[in-house]
Structure 1
Amino acid sequence: MFDEPVIEISTKEVVTITPDTTVGTAIGIMEKNRFHNLVVQGGDALNLVTIQDLLLASHSDSHVDEFMFRPHAIHHKTPIIDAIVELIDSGQRAAPVIDNGGALAGIVTEYDIMARGADSRLLKEAEVRRIMDRDPMCVQKTDSIGKARSIMTKNNIGRVLVVDELQNLVGIVTSMDILKKVYKPKRRMTAGEFKGEKITRMEQPVTVIMNAPVITAEIDASLADVAKLLQQHDIRGVPIVKDHVPRGLITILDIMRYLRM
């Protein structure tokens, strides 16, 4: 299952941008294609910009060259199992796939790898409690969008859980929610929504942009169950709950790390 070359699970028709692409345009491309990473091509150089990088932007007219970085690239003939190791060791969630000449041949993401292993016996036989993050980052439903953004950037995570005064799970806020609804609003906000400058938007409660109801799994679910939820709903993380209270979190990266073991 993981002996095939990584190019077999890679996206070969890669959507790329240039260093002078604006943050707003990059966010639009990510939102339209449900991407979390974009390859930046300029001359002979290959760079990468991630959704987490764009959270650091203070203005949508900034250029992505302020946030892009030179990524680790994976050779197209590398076995998938070795690509897992390379991706995890690099700290990246995606990597350009290059041919013998160093040219771009595709891109592989943690989602591609998780999808390949979703039906494996390894995941079917493991319970989520074995690898889940038992202390997921949470915010109160009265906390601000700015606080959620600060937690994400400080901890390099893509989501925070939203809980009420009884610590029941009531929503989830992701990086994309902040980017597309705060930095790139699609329409003029009404008085009951966002109003004024970005700092005012950041002071709005997370309930304005959170996703609810939340896709969750029970604490006795298998990793295969969670992998299927991630695929079916095209999401990157699933909260693990017991009696409506979040007990943990499983992300695609957690599953990929488990497959590496």
Structure 2
Amino acid sequence: MFKRRVGELAKRPHIVPADATVTQAADLMVRADVSCLAAVTGARVVGFLTERELVRHLDVDLDPSTPIREILSRTTGGIAKHLGVDEAIKLMLERRERHLPVVDVGGSLVGLVTDKELVDALAVDFMVESVDCRALMRTNPVCLTPEQSVRMALDRMRDTNAGCVLVTEAGKAVGIFTERDALRAIMGRPERLLDPVSAHMSGPVVCVPVDAMVYKVILYMRQKGVRRLAVTETDGRLAGLISQQDILLYARRMG
């Protein structure tokens, strides 16, 4: 792997008070287009709140006025800013996290590195390897039909630890329902859990052909601002799904 350090990739986290409500935090995530917030008390970071943690609570009677300090993640520890990308990928996969806090020699928070930054750093590696989507896509993504409910979508996402469900008709992807869609549509509106998933899905689905080279897929994800893509056969039928986590898993094997 081409050697880069996580200190070069880390981004300043978005900050939210630990006594902010889950609704306020969800609004900030959607507006800022981020999937993790650093929660602070005064000037001290006391934990992190991820999009996934919020979504996992949406259909279990989460009170919109709940302070986020009650569901914060206490991270398993920061990583040094001089750590290489390959080592950061290994840690991220071992911890089953999508965000790693990066700290300096004194232990102060420098920023966050996410799966997005790590994947972006791998484009050159995948160009050298000449890998296409077939090598790493998931061929059995979670799929629902348009009339199935939002609650069912959230249940399937939680049961499979997935960040999205694809909505399909006649073997083709017609929409995608992601964690971001769930926050935008459902937070504070529990009655929408009974809606058909098609009412709140995003569409059309961003797709790539099954023979697309992964380095081009990485660049396309960056261009479109998405974390996952549907993979299609030449006739448009769904072949699978490729996410940033899938790219990291394959990169770990390459390393």
* TM-score normalised per structure 2: 0.90
- Cα distance in 2, alignment partners of residues 146 and 232 from structure 1: 31
For 2:213 and 2:231, the matched residues in 1 are separated by 11
Task: Specify whether residues 121 and 139 from structure 1 end up closer, same or farther in structure 2 by C-alpha distance, changes over 3 A only.
Answer: closer
Which deviates further from its counterpart, 52-61 or 42-51? Answer: 42-51
**Does 62-71 or 120-129 show the bigger shift?**
120-129
Question: SS state of the match for residue 121, structure 2?
Answer: helix
Q: Residue 205 of structure 2 aligns with which residue?
A: 214
2:133 aligned with 1:128: yes
Q: Output aligned runs, 1:53-132, within 5 Å.
A: 53-55=53-55, 56-57=57-58, 58-72=62-76, 73-122=78-127, 125-132=130-137
Alignment of 1:1-261 (within 5 A): 2-11=2-11, 13-42=12-41, 44=44, 46-55=46-55, 56-57=57-58, 58-72=62-76, 73-122=78-127, 125-164=130-169, 166-183=170-187, 198=190, 200-242=191-233, 243-261=235-253
State the AA in 2 paired with 1:246.
L
Question: How far apart in 2 are the matches of 1:156 and 1:64?
Answer: 21
Identity among equivalent positions (%) equals 27
* Aligned CA-pair RMSD: 1.8
User: Closer, same or farther in 2 for the Cα pair 1:28/1:61, shift >3 Å?
Assistant: same
Gaps of 5+ in 2: none
Aligned residue number for residue 191 of structure 1: none
Give the 3-state SS of the residue equivalent to 1:120 in structure 2: helix
Report the CA distance between 1:31 and its aligned residue. 0.9
Displacement of 1:59 in angstroms is 2.5
Q: Which runs of 5 or more residues in structure 1 are unaligned?
A: 185-196
Count residues with an aligned counterpart: 246
Please give the per-residue CA displacement for 1:98-143, whole angstroms capped at 9, x wherever unaligned. Answer: 1122211111001001111124345660011111111000000110
Which stretch shows the higher mean deviation, 133-142 or 80-89? 80-89
Kindly state the Cα deviation for residue 224 of structure 1 after the two structures are TM-superposed: 1.4
Paired residues of 1:117 and 1:123 also in contact (CA < 8 A) = no
